[in-house]
A = this chain, B = another copy of it.
């Protein structure tokens, strides 16, 4: 069994390799190379993911008879749904959608999202509903890495797409929410991994979650930028890019 510090270091190694901060779509975003239409597609598709996060968290909540865990975890649902007075994450993401020039109704209807977005989100809910409870919790650990990505993104969006600036409340909120959530989840995962097999399952859950995020950007890239990027760990032909399109 790995020591606690080695176990934790392993999560960070997975994030370094597989978290979507490396995805070419994000790289283009941060370099200011996306068009308004491409940012619209991103905001629209990602809204579907955001809007299902409380469903995913309720699916986790319903799997434990530990009130302490539920009390800590339900904060995520409140962060996304709001407290009835201040807007939650879902409402804030609609502000971002509006800032791109799309209507909030279009995002709520969800008609224009890519099939792969829907499948990836369904896969996430299915994962936390059917895998072991520790694996469900571990799948949330992408939040260990989101703080850094969001800080970078806020700067990049302000710099390169100043017309979006009115829609960035979601990200500023997550700057404090995500680290709190990640800290709780990491401590829980570390405490409840009793064997090397448990530890490996937690790693696999985080890799699976990274895939879920990565696949959503793949879908955007291939539909709205240009074709051809195998996900990390996926089969790569000798020539990475084909000529087809």
Chain A residues in the interface with B (C-beta under 8 A): 51-52, 54-56, 58-59, 61-65, 67, 70-71, 74, 77-78, 80-84, 88, 90-91, 125
Query: A88, B67: Cβ atoms under 8 Å?
Result: yes
- Cβ of A35 to closest chain B Cβ, rounded Å: 29
Q: How many copies does the complex hold?
A: 2
- Cβ of A58 to closest chain B Cβ, rounded Å: 4
Main SS of chain A's interface residues? helix
A59 to B63 CA separation, bound complex (whole angstroms) = 9
A172 to B90 CA separation, bound complex (whole angstroms) = 35
A67 to B55 CA separation, bound complex (whole angstroms) = 10
Query: A51, B74: Cβ atoms under 8 Å?
Result: no
- Cβ of A85 to closest chain B Cβ, rounded Å: 11
- Cβ of A80 to closest chain B Cβ, rounded Å: 8
Query: A54, B77: Cβ atoms under 8 Å?
Result: no
- Cβ of A230 to closest chain B Cβ, rounded Å: 32
Query: A67, B84: Cβ atoms under 8 Å?
Result: no
Nearest B-chain residue to A81, judged by Cβ:
B67
